Chains A and B, each alone.
Chain A
């Protein structure tokens, strides 16, 4: 059985490096590459009725933006190199959703870029990479 690598993508510099790094590994070990874009979203947030009515429209927009702006170029680049790529765009809690995707798709490794936030920033806003390292069922490579 061949390996499956899941890469967390958010369009940031770090995530681009992670994709690049994972692509090389995937090519070397003939692994399948999964690119996952998680849009942060909580089902327990509060909204006005107006926002509720427009939610579906917004969701579609968010997904298509992630797809066209971030994922499409990455996929094209990886495919050019001869990689087998699949993409996912999901709403949810970032690290939790990544773990769920890894489980559901039987990923054998995960790759994530880091932002290199200061300690204060991490303390305030948390770090997806940090949370992923703590909760992932498979080995995680954090790409600097």
Chain B
């Protein structure tokens, strides 16, 4: 307990001084050139018919298209079976008490459903026009196949620690998978590279971006009353995260994990209400989505520009190709890695196809699209404004939802980052605590500093790890395909039976 207070105090002092010293600007000036350079490399754009196509987005899209065809549209033919798995139809009663498919999915979804679903979509619509929504849905659909491949591999190649816990994810399947193909050195290299990337990503988009956006939304609701109080909000959030990931106060996390799914449902219900209140605008909004997708009217780069923005936002939101969800899914104990992959393909569906589309329709029907809201930080404010037009008090629950989404995303990412950390430095307890302290410090910093360059670096790294991840997926796709065919054949022959009679 004493240690708890000592650390908390140290924390308080550090943040307070940081605030006073205007560390904000110092950090920004120091990191801006690095951010710019990294960003330029990662988001290297090729001009294409007047649009700017970042190579990394192309890389992700090509991967998703390839896996969709290679797995023969697993995103369609596996969908029904995935729902049966989540319902527990195939769960062996003797395994009760282990992590269920439902739990793995729920945890992974709370990691991906976040500010991006509320704010990110607004940004996409502002910059890419309503047509971006169409491409967002297409990208979500294709992303389901990528997710299937990476989560199957996550389970297949995970590590079981001597104490019975598990560690899995892209760093493990890359290392072991490449080693199986006689490329051990390369596997080790990309595994470590991935671990560094996921660690940096966990501090950026999985942490600072979340706490920052939560603060922006709270301040928006308070009518600017929290201006300059970012450090306080940050400290409070850091303290809560601290109590969960270091203090082991699991109940807080459990409460959030319970509330988040309800929040997501609550958000969708109210979004649908707003959409129907704007009923007369629905046909026009839907028509805009389709016509915008094909003509790209008013968007830089036309239809292609809308496509690029839609795809980019979809990846941001559902994380397919980044490999993060594979870390969460690898905790499931199953004899059939394919089942976990099948369940995971529901994630982009829920996250992108359902929730993001609903947000896009709210914005579309409320017709609040306004170029002034450009920039991630203003995205959530724009969605908030769209709701406010119909339901004046809605920004308040939206702010609460935003904070909770941010919180659950931070908890999930703290774990992803931790797995990157333990992959590099081993599973020692001291090291893990150090990582967690760093993580908490960044929660507080997220509310204080101007995000610009730091976020850019983190962003760049998250996209950068897609490169080795998808490369690994190409190499290991035949393994997944063989597993899938064998599994489906055994379902067909009745060797794998339902336990529960529906």
Give min CB distance, B215 to chain A, whole Å. 23
The A interface is mostly helix, strand or loop, or mixed, namely: helix
Min CB–CB distance A102 → chain B (angstroms): 13
Q: Which of A45, A50, A57 contacts B103 (CB 8 A)?
A: A45
| CA A56 to CA B331, docked complex, whole Å | 9
Contact A43 B102 (CB under 8 A): yes
- Provided the pairs A39-B97, A46-B261, A59-B98 are in contact, do residues A54 and B103 lie with their beta carbons within 8 angstroms? no
The yes or no answer to B375 lying at the interface (CB within 8 A) is no
Tell yes or no: A60 within 8 A of B by CB: yes
Pick from B96, B163, B164, B415: contact of A48, CB below 8 A.
B415
Compute how far the CA of A60 lies from the CA of B160 in the bound complex, rounded to whole angstroms. 14
Are B415 and A59 closer than 8 Å at their CB atoms?
no
Asked whether A49 is an interface residue with its Cβ less than 8 Å from the other chain, the reply is: yes
A126 at the interface (CB under 8 A from B): no
Task: Provide the main secondary structure of the chain B interface.
Answer: helix
Cα(A90)–Cα(B244), bound, Å: 29
Q: Does A53 sit at the interface, judged by CB under 8 A?
A: yes
Residues 60-84 of A, flagged 1 when their CB comes within 8 A of B and 0 if not, give: 1011000000000000000000000
Per-position binary interface string of chain A over residues 28-61, scored 1 when its CB falls under 8 Å from any chain B CB and 0 otherwise: 0000000000010101111111111111110110
**How many residues from A make CB contacts under 8 Å with B?**
26
CB of A103 to closest CB in B, whole Å:
11
A36 to B501, CA, bound (A): 24
Q: Are A52's CB and B164's CB within 8 A?
A: no
Is B333 an interface residue when CB atoms closer than 8 A count as contact? Answer: yes
Verify if A91 is at the interface (C-beta below 8 Å from B): yes
Contact B327 A49 (CB under 8 A): yes
Contacts A47-B103, A48-B411, A48-B415; A57 near B254 (Cβ below 8 A): no
**B106 CB within 8 Å of chain A:** yes
Is B100's beta carbon under 8 Å from chain A? Answer: yes
> Which of chain A's residues 1-52 have a Cβ closer than 8 Å to chain B?
39, 41, 43-52
B412 touches A55 (CB 8 A): no
**Interchain CB contact under 8 A, A43 and B88:** yes
Identity of the chain A residue whose Cβ is nearest the Cβ of B413 in the assembled complex: A49
Q: Are B333 and A56 in contact (CB under 8 A)?
A: yes
Given contacts A56-B98, A60-B164, contact A46 B254 (CB under 8 A): yes
A residues less than 8 Å from B416 (CB atoms)? 49
B93 within 8 A of A: yes
Q: CA A91 – CA B102 in complex, angstroms?
A: 16
Interface centre among B96, B163, B254, B260 (most CB of A within 10 A): B96
Most chain A CB neighbours (cut-off 10 Å) among B164, B257, B333: B164
Kindly state the separation between the CA atoms of A75 and B327 in the bound complex, as whole angstroms: 42
Task: Report Cα–Cα, A99/B432, bound state, in Å.
Answer: 44
**Provided the pairs A53-B331, A56-B164, A56-B333 are in contact, do residues A44 and B100 lie with their beta carbons within 8 angstroms?**
yes
- Would A49 and B415 count as touching, CB distance under 8 A? yes
Known: A39-B97, A56-B98. A46 touches B165 (CB 8 A): no
A92 engages B327 (CB within 8 Å)? no
Is there an interface contact between A43 and B166, defined as CB atoms closer than 8 Å?
no
* Complex alpha-carbon distance, A140 and B389, angstroms: 60
- Interface centre among A39, A44, A49, by most chain B C-beta atoms within 10 angstroms, is A49
Which residue on B lies nearest to A54, using beta carbons? B165
Chain B residues lying within 8 Å of A86, measured Cβ to Cβ, are none
User: Does B333 lie within 8 Å of A47, measured CB to CB?
Assistant: no
Which of A46, A48, A91, A100 is B97 in contact with, Cβ under 8 Å?
A: A91
CB neighbors of B among A71-115 (8 A): 90-92, 97, 100
B91 CB contact (under 8 Å) in A43, A45, A55, A62: A43
Decide if A90 touches B411 in the complex (CB within 8 Å).
Answer: no
Across the interface, which residues of A come within 8 angstroms of B98, CB to CB?
55-56, 59
Question: Which residue on A lies nearest to B91, using beta carbons?
Answer: A43
A51 touching B165 by the CB < 8 A rule?
A: no
The answer for the CA separation of A91 and B100 in the assembled complex, in Å, is: 12
Given the interface pairs A52-B331, A53-B166, A53-B167, the reply to whether A62 lies near B107 with Cβ below 8 Å is: no
Contact B164 A57 (CB under 8 A): yes
B80 at the interface (CB under 8 A from A): no
B467 contacts chain A at the CB level, 8 A cutoff? no
B115 CB within 8 Å of chain A: no
Task: Give the CA-CA distance A62 to B93 in the complex, in Å.
Answer: 16
| B96 touches which of A52, A54, A56, A92 (Cβ 8 Å) | A92
Give the distance in Å from the alpha carbon of A41 to the alpha carbon of B97 in the complex: 6
How far is it, in angstroms, between the C-alpha of A47 and the C-alpha of B167 when the chains are bound? 16
Cα–Cα distance between A44 and B110 once the two chains are bound (Å): 14
Whole-angstrom distance between the alpha carbons of A100 and B501 in the complex?
14
Determine which of B164, B166, B244, B257 lies in contact with A47 in the assembled complex, contact meaning CB atoms within 8 Å: B257
Given A47-B99, A48-B254; 5 other pairs, CB 8 A cutoff: A44-B103, A46-B107, A49-B331, A49-B411, A53-B415
CB-defined A-B contacts under 8 Å, sample of 21: A44-B102, A44-B103, A46-B106, A46-B261, A48-B411, A49-B111, A49-B327, A49-B328, A49-B415, A52-B99, A52-B332, A53-B331, A53-B415, A55-B98, A57-B163, A57-B164, A59-B97, A59-B98, A91-B96, A92-B97, A97-B96
Chain A residues within 8 Å of B, Cβ to Cβ = 39, 41, 43-57, 59-60, 62-63, 90-92, 97, 100
